[in-house]
Structure 1
Amino acid sequence: MELFDTSLSILQEIKLDPQQFRNVRLLVKRDDLIHPEVSGNKWRKLKYNLELAMYQKKDGILTFGGAYSNHLLAVAAACQLAGLQSIGVVRGEELTADSNENLKRCAALGMELLFVSRESYDERNEKSCQEGWKEAHPHFLLVPEGGSNYYGIVGCQEIGKELPAETDHLFVAQGTTTTSCGLLLGSDEKTKLHVVPALKGFDAIAEMRKQLYPVLLDEETMNEYMDRVVVHPEAHFGGYGKWTPELLDFMEMCRKEYGLPLDKIYTGKAFHALMEWLKAQDFQTLQTVVFLHTGGLQNG
């Protein structure tokens, strides 16, 4: 079932100074335009989870997130569009549905919000905890925080079909690695995948391998894929949820000069890493570089 038309996700060309950036064609895959509340990689990761819930005749989806979670908002909006119910387990027992605009909007979209302690939330992926949620809500499909599961990877894999055939370098902001794993599986074997972790000290390669082991069962195939991954580990601007005046100025420049809105949690940092990397290159042949805009503008 197609809820959204992904043709709205255009390839926007960024006009760069040819004197400063030689032999570079820079494109932005605007997944943020797919839907105002289920934008970017959120729709990609939810697509097959929604289809599974409907196939299994579930009442809806139960998932997890923080107070400002774009994922919770995306699930609430997507479930409403699909005619499903939604339950959001929110970190922070002191919160209510009126604590911020994000939670208010989730509630307005019909999401039932369950507020739990941080200790309980930290145990959300434990087997006993998962079984407890399933027992309490047997008619709901459990989807991990951020849509980080096999079905999320498959949804993100489809992005590869919408990229230029000759994509030399593909950049993406990285959180749970679900999107980057899907991109790795779905992109051309000649494409280098550049990942920009939002978390300080995040072991991107180890986390991607963990996600991909159920899909790529032998070590040789795994290594072939991982050889195409380039990690930019120092582009986090101090860590998750942190930013600097330099980053904010850069984002404003992108908005004015390129007509490109970015968020300060993920895409702003990743696009900054891309531009800094490009400045250090001296390409002898034309290179097509694509940046995947993963959305997240609502709370970023």
Structure 2
Amino acid sequence: MDTSRSILQKVRFSLENCEPFTFWIKRDDLIDPVVSGNKWRKLKYNVEKAKHQKSKGILTFGGAFSNHLIATAKVCKLNGLNSIGVVRGDELTNESNATLKKCTEFGMELQFVSRSDYKKRYEYDYLYQLRDQFSQFFIVPEGGANFYGAIGCQEILQETPNDFKHVYLAGGTGTTAVGVISSAPSVTKIHLVSALKGDFLGDEVLKGLQNLSYNEAESHSSYKQLILNTNHHFGGYGKVNQELINFINTFYQQTDIPLDPVYTGKAMYAMLQDYREGLISKDDKCLFIHTGGIQGAKKWSDQLLFVTS
């Protein structure tokens, strides 16, 4: 994947009853139409590890509309590796939706499991069974949420100037945030907008930082840079309302930049809301990391202006 496509773009967005806000976007969504944004960042070193170990391929996990699954399938195909996707929902088939069809086209073998079995994906005994059954495969957690995924995400800020006061990004597992925080200047505030209900994401980020540094004091010091936003999930993971759809369409009309309703749309909404409320000012240099995921927006093709069915 060519990360040089991920440009730093200056954007000016007009808001009602408020001064326009000027900020920067790291366009990781431009890396690849399928393996875009943090999907490639989190896979890059996992693929290198699999190849170094001379693994037959990669086994990973995801839901029916998983951007991570389809990205893994394509990356493995490009690198001469086999891929296996453990999919949540034993009622599904390879033909259930466009995402699963595309995974199959890229050569991924799909293993459909019950939701109860899927919940075991982090349990030692369950992973031991998978390692025994697929002994030649390198196992990557859901979303690429491991040490190698975080290391890959460190490169996002390494490609940008280091004078941003605020950095905003969406999060599901917290892995991207771990990479971003661990590579950011100590004075930079990292705003992680959770796409899910609950405040557990903060704990996941701290665990990830500890896994990276093995230094308790350093991990806690870095963690203080995190500002966790749990107020803009719009009802939970994958939940969308008309207000969010309208915002994404307005943003696209003004900037020609697409956002997805699951992650980046919510994060951008949160950042602009912080601006409205005075939590960040027009003089603050702010960066928004576009983590991709546009492939998943096809689910709302009848409502989003930039999506063609």
TM bucket normalised to smaller: over 0.9
Say if 2:289 is the partner of 1:292: yes
Q: Deviations over 1:143-189 (max 9, x none)?
A: 00000000000000111111222111000001000000100001111
Aligned partners of 1:242 and 1:175: how far apart in 2? 13
Say if 2:157 is the partner of 1:198: no
Inter-CA distance 90–285: structure 2 relative to 1 (3 Å threshold): closer
Q: Contact between 1:21 and 1:278, CA under 8 Å: does it hold in 2?
A: no
Aligned partners of 1:183 and 1:10: how far apart in 2? 17
Q: Which amino acid aligns with 2:119?
A: D
Say if 2:269 is the partner of 1:267: no
Aligned partners of 1:42 and 1:16: how far apart in 2? 27
Farther off after superposition, 9-18 or 230-239: 9-18
The residue aligned with 2:34 is 37
The residue aligned with 1:236 is 233
Q: Secondary structure at 1:96's aligned position in 2?
A: coil
Say if 2:68 is the partner of 1:71: yes
Say if 2:131 is the partner of 1:123: no
Q: 1:106 aligns with which of 96, 103, 106?
A: 103
Q: Contact between 1:200 and 1:236, CA under 8 Å: does it hold in 2?
A: yes
Aligned partners of 2:93 and 2:5: how far apart in 1? 35
Q: Secondary structure at 2:232's aligned position in 1?
A: coil
Q: Deviations over 1:202-253 (max 9, x none)?
A: 3232221122222233332122111111111101111111111111000000
Aligned partners of 1:282 and 1:225: how far apart in 2? 21
Aligned partners of 1:62 and 1:284: how far apart in 2? 45
The residue aligned with 2:133 is 136
Aligned partners of 2:77 and 2:157: how far apart in 1? 28
Give the superposition deviation at 1:73: 0.2
Q: Which amino acid aligns with 1:174?
A: G
Aligned partners of 1:291 and 1:224: how far apart in 2? 23
Farther off after superposition, 78-87 or 205-214: 205-214
Aligned partners of 1:145 and 1:152: how far apart in 2? 11
Give the superposition deviation at 1:116: 1.0
Give the superposition deviation at 1:256: 0.5
Give the TM-score, by structure 1 length: 0.94
Percent identity among equivalent residues?
45
Q: Contact between 2:274 and 2:280, CA under 8 Å: does it hold in 1?
A: no
Give the superposition deviation at 1:92: 1.1
Aligned partners of 2:92 and 2:279: how far apart in 1? 51
1:1-300 → structure 2 map (5 Å cutoff): 4-17=1-14, 20-21=18-19, 25-281=22-278, 286-300=283-297
Higher relative contact order by CA 8 Å / sep ≥ 6: 1 or 2?
Answer: 1
Q: Secondary structure at 2:235's aligned position in 1?
A: coil
Q: Secondary structure at 1:124's aligned position in 2?
A: coil
Q: Secondary structure at 1:49's aligned position in 2?
A: helix
Q: Secondary structure at 1:231's aligned position in 2?
A: strand
Aligned partners of 1:164 and 1:288: how far apart in 2? 11
Inter-CA distance 242–17: structure 2 relative to 1 (3 Å threshold): closer
Dislocated runs of 4+, deviation >6 Å? 282-285
Q: Secondary structure at 1:28's aligned position in 2?
A: strand
Inter-CA distance 250–138: structure 2 relative to 1 (3 Å threshold): same
How many equivalent residue pairs?
A: 296
Q: Contact between 1:25 and 1:287, CA under 8 Å: does it hold in 2?
A: no
Aligned partners of 1:284 and 1:270: how far apart in 2? 17
Q: Contact between 2:22 and 2:282, CA under 8 Å: does it hold in 1?
A: no
Considering only aligned residues, what root-mean-square deviation do their CA atoms show, in Å? 1.7
Inter-CA distance 122–257: structure 2 relative to 1 (3 Å threshold): same
Aligned partners of 2:77 and 2:158: how far apart in 1? 28
The residue aligned with 2:305 is none
